[in-house]
Amino acid sequence: MTTADQPWPVCCATRVRQAGKTAILLIALISFAGAAAQAQTFTVLHTFRGGVDGASPASGVTMDRSGRLYGTTQYGGSIYLGSVYQLTRKGSGWVNNPIYGFNGNATNDGAYPLSGLTVGPDGSFYGTTREGGGGCAQSNHGCGTVYRLRPSAAACKTALCPWTETVIYRFLGGSDGANPQYANVVFDAAGNLYGTTSSGGASGFGTVYELTPSNGGWTESVLYSFAGGSDGSQPWGGAIFDKAGNLYGTTYEGGGGCNGFGCGTVFELTPSGSGWTESLLYSFQGGSDGGNSFAGLVADQSGNLYGATAFGGSGGGGAVFELSPSNGSWTFTVLYGLDGEEGPNCSLIIDAAGNLYGTASQDGGSPGVAFRLSLGGSGWIYTALHNFSTGYDGGIPLGSPLLDASGNLYGTAYDYGADAAGTVWEITP
């Protein structure tokens, strides 16, 4: 298995793996040039108005090679079922172009996208919607979709330039899975697509799935169905590859910790000739180690895994942790306990120097924070890059941040802002 030459964060954007690098770095390592960002200036790039431009971005942003930003909003759009937007720098500001509005079951194209966008091997954007699709017996709202989005083939002659969406899979809500959440999809070198669903599967507790292109269509295969016990339940985050082709991820519940109720797990899926085998790497206990992870994983160049939980930890606001491989087993270490009421909802990112960046939706008395963790002589040092205020800056950041080559950090806030529909922001060093 191989990797992309320029990786992207899991929960806000991932990029297809290409030959010549370690596969796990595709989603895990933001190896941009330059030192880690030092927070100096916070700027709101766009305030969502709650209409066609979108509302409530649950994911982070993706940046193309021209510096344009792309993302999704859970609400807003043409009929308030979610949107995909593009932000283009113009002079000293940014211009929002809504490139797609979801129509739900009216056209079976999907509804309520929570995940970010992945750049596929064909240059198109790929993503998922939590509902819609029209293929779900359990819900009139649909059980979600996997979609492809690309610019229109015809030249744009209007101020708004909508893109063309194609649904490549509609979840039926049975053994195939249902309701993908924050999980971004990822591609392997052969062009196969992988993702997770939070429910459905053989036991109803979620799946890890693969979509294989064939004869102009896509065929779904379920790699693993969670049973809801010690193996885990409800994977909300995405999965990442290592160089051997193994997949890693987290589950929100299950695992047997928390007095048997299950506070989630970290798992590994290993391919074999007859399918995939799941191994439990860690079961959260809900104490200082944290519990209930929405976020997926990232990794460094040595194959160490990093993640975060939404709850638990020494400060009650989740824990940032590391899992290190050693002689066929894994060592779990808590790096930092976050304060507040709810920790990261999407994956951390890591820069070339090994600094970790993330967002937490509620941090003590503020509605969220963008933070950095740096390894110092006596341990990991926490720095709040920006504390949100429920004002014009926005609040409740859910998505992963994005770091560019100049050390600028980009992200979204799900709520608040001037029109109470969220913001896209930048922190410059």
What distances in angstroms separate CA 106 from CA 81, 131, 196, 334, one per listed residue?
A: 11, 12, 25, 47
Q: Which pLDDT score is estimated for 191?
A: 96
pLDDT reported for residue 192:
97
What is the spatial distance between Cα 419 and Cα 394, in angstroms, rounded to a whole number? 9
- The pLDDT of residue 1 is 36
Tens digit of pLDDT at every position of the chain (429 positions): 333 333 333 454 433 333 333 333 333 333 332 333 344 799 999 999 999 999 999 999 999 999 999 999 999 998 999 999 999 999 999 999 999 999 987 778 999 999 999 999 999 999 999 999 987 866 667 899 999 999 987 666 665 678 999 999 999 999 999 999 998 999 999 999 999 999 999 999 999 999 999 988 999 999 999 999 999 999 999 999 998 999 999 999 999 878 777 999 999 999 988 899 999 999 999 999 999 999 999 999 999 999 999 999 999 999 999 999 988 899 999 999 999 889 999 999 999 999 999 999 887 678 999 999 999 888 999 999 999 998 899 999 999 999 999 999 999 999 999 999 999 999 998
Cα–Cα distances (Å) from 97 to 110, 148, 310, in that order, read 20, 18, 33
Provide the residue ranges of all domains of the chain, joining segments of one domain with +.
Answer: 13-428
219 phi and psi, to 5 degrees?
-115, 130
Task: Provide the greatest CA pair distance for the chain.
Answer: 61
**What's the confidence (pLDDT) of residue 10?**
42
Give the pTM. Answer: 0.89
Helix, strand, coil: what percent of the chain each, to 5?
0, 45, 55
In angstroms and rounded to an integer, the radius of gyration of the C-alpha atoms of the chain is: 20
SS3 379: strand
CATH of 13-428, one of 3.30.70.980, 2.130.10.130, 3.80.30.20, 3.30.1540.10: 2.130.10.130
How far is it, in rounded angstroms, from Cα 27 to Cα 333? 21
Q: How far is CA 28 from CA 237, 305, 315, in A?
A: 13, 9, 26
